[in-house]
Amino acid sequence: MTITDFQKNLTILNIPAWEENYFKPHEQMKSPNRKTVSNLEDLPNIGKAMARDLRLCHIQYPQDLIGKDGYKLYDELCRKTGRRHDPCVIDVFLSAVDFMNGGDAKPWWEFTKERKLHDRKL
């Protein structure tokens, strides 16, 4: 989907202009050079809160995500904070790990199906 198509869809759906930034097409995803990126917040889907959660799991730099397991990171986060977090956090962790392992920058919700299939197998 091009940005123009995306904007047309917003008009068709009658989404107010102030909400347009909430719905971002793939072309606007952060997609840094994974070999040189140095801040977690520069990764796709990672803002300040998610970066803080990753740091609680001993992930200080994007390269620390290489070879990690998003499900294990989620379990560690829940243990460290003493509470169960929204399962969508798993999706975000999966997206960050996938990106650092060479995958394309994708919205976190594209990992929801994978998580739900994984949950069924447990």
Range 101-108, long-range pairs (CB < 8 A, 24+ positions): 101/65, 101/66, 101/67, 102/34, 104/31, 105/26, 105/29, 105/30, 105/31, 105/44, 106/26, 106/29, 106/44, 107/24, 107/26, 107/29, 107/44, 107/45, 108/45
Residue 37 DSSP symbol: -
Q: What is the pLDDT of residues 29-84, one digit of tens each?
A: 788 898 999 999 999 999 999 999 999 999 999 999 999 999 999 999 999 999 99
Say whether both 26 and 55 belong to one domain.
no
Say whether both 61 and 108 belong to one domain.
yes
Q: Looking at the whole model, is its pTM more than 0.85?
A: no
The count of domains in the chain is 2
In this predicted structure, the answer to whether residue 94 has a pLDDT above a threshold of 50 is: yes
Say whether both 1 and 59 belong to one domain.
no
- Structure tokens belonging to residue 116: 């739900």
- The whole domain housing 14 covers 1-30
Element (H, E) at 3: helix 3-12
Say whether both 25 and 77 belong to one domain.
no
